[in-house]
Amino acid sequence: MIERKRYLNRLIDKKENGLIKIITGIRRCGKSYLLFRIYYDYLLSIGVDANHIITIALDDVENIKYRNPIMLGEFIRSKITDNKIYYVFLDEIQNVATIKNPYISGGDDRVGFVDVLNGLLHKRNVDVYITGSNSKMLSSDIATEFRGRGDEIRVNPLSFAEFYAAYSGDKHDAWKEYCIYGGMPYVLSLASHEDKSKYLTDLFAQTYLSDVLERNRVGEPDIMEDLLNVVSSAVGSLTNPTKLSNTFLSVNKRAVSSRTINIYLNYLIDAFLLSKAYRYDIKGKKYIGTPLKYYFTDIGLRNARLNFRQTEENHIMENIIYNELCIRGFNVDVGVVEYNYKDELGKSKRVHLEVDFVASKADKRYYIQSALYVSTEEKRLQETKSLNRIDDSFKKIVIVKDNIIPWHDEEGIMYVGIEQFLVDESAMEL
């Protein structure tokens, strides 16, 4: 059993809060498992009677009649027979159809799953939880559909700590495996490279890409395919729709407007395949419009998109650190530090130095640099050049590939190995 303690605790914290708990995330990342196995078992463990947990998997043919919203509502209400709390779990809620209201003749009044869920909220002894596939239940839909009555819980693929805990092979190989195949839970049950690569490649093409194309009615799927290849190859690099448009023209010999590319990128973000990090001027305390960086929600899917040809450790490590910081609840930006100096001729020069990540949460902030190694003084100074020009008191961290004993240099910058950073959250405070 893969433990998802972070998400279980979030469900526990939101238990009986009067809102619909909406569990979202990329498909096959473990949303249904979290709700129907882990949280279900938790409720039983605290004394909830199984008869007070109503579960319906709406993608199961046995429950096909409950895709009718009126029948679904009637069925749930028929199970509520006393005043104790009932917990309602509805999996793949997007399978519920939107139908014409049979009680109103004429007009176009329609009934769907939103009506069913909002109706359940009027019952004081009902606590509602739903999951939805990313093709129909996206984060951008939630505010519109539920208008403040929903509480989203975003589930990610396995973090490295979760992957490491569940990894059945030699633990020394866990990091290498994670860098190649990522954290989709089913990968842990597969043994060979052929099986893992086929699973991820098929998942990308037959599920995620198909969902995006179908949902958004993309008229030129080949553009989306090419865009995914470009973004996959340039993960962690500064770019923007205009730059990508120029790439299409110079490399693919095809004119694609920056507006179209921006729309397609937003489709991929809404489908939880990509995330974007904005640039933040640390000294000026303001955001810089573009360029920005795009990262994959799961590095294994990114590698599968490129047929596992491009597995550069520096970009992969950066992507994994970005995902980890997001999982930990940080707002993550790309930092920029302006640096002024005079050249040999005495002329003033201005350069912008990059800090890989500015991670902020409440009153905490961390400046984080991802570096494969700092084995020489020259390399260490190069990696810390931007950090040393930040004059506030927030913590500065350099994460390296090797397993090292954490240490601090004379400027107070901490150095820590990637595996320790990912497995031990307290490592940020060493």
Region 291-306: mean pLDDT is: 95
Region 7-27: mean pLDDT is: 94
- pLDDT score of 349: 81
Q: What's the token pair of residue 352?
A: 């912008």
Which residue shows structure tokens 């699973």?
A: 199
pLDDT digits (tens, 9 = 90+) for 83-112: 999 999 999 888 899 999 999 988 889 999
Per-residue confidence band for 146, with pLDDT thresholds at 50, 70 and 90: confident
Distance CA 314, CA 306 (A): 16
Question: What Rg do the C-alpha atoms of the chain give, in angstroms?
Answer: 24
Distance CA 58, CA 418 (A): 41
Percent of the chain with pLDDT over 70: 97
Region 364-375: mean pLDDT is: 95
**Pair 181, 316: CB distance under 8 Å:** no
- pLDDT score of 311: 73
Q: State which CATH number among 3.40.47.10, 3.90.79.10, 3.30.70.20, 3.40.50.300 fits the domain covering 5-154.
A: 3.40.50.300
**Pair 127, 151: CB distance under 8 Å:** no
- pLDDT score of 211: 87
Region 418-430: mean pLDDT is: 95
Percent of the chain with pLDDT over 90: 77
Amino acid at 115: D
Distance CA 92, CA 411 (A): 52
pTM assigned to the model: 0.92
- pLDDT score of 143: 55
pLDDT higher than 60, residue 323: yes
pLDDT higher than 60, residue 420: yes
Per-residue confidence band for 140, with pLDDT thresholds at 50, 70 and 90: low
pLDDT digits (tens, 9 = 90+) for 200-237: 999 999 889 998 998 889 988 999 999 999 999 989 89
Amino acid at 329: G
pLDDT higher than 90, residue 341: no
Domain residue spans in the chain?
Answer: 5-154, 158-430
- pLDDT score of 134: 52
Identify any residues that bridge with 99 across adjacent strands, giving them in sequence order. Answer: 111
pLDDT digits (tens, 9 = 90+) for 154-163: 999 999 999 9
pLDDT higher than 70, residue 49: yes
**Residues whose CB is less than 8 angstroms from the CB of residue 344 and which lie 6 or more positions away in sequence, other chains included:** none
pLDDT higher than 70, residue 135: no
- pLDDT score of 289: 81
Give the DSSP letter string of 376-420. SHHHHHHHHTTGGG--S-SEEEEEESS----EE-TT--EEEEHHH
- pLDDT score of 346: 76
Distance CA 206, CA 304 (A): 13
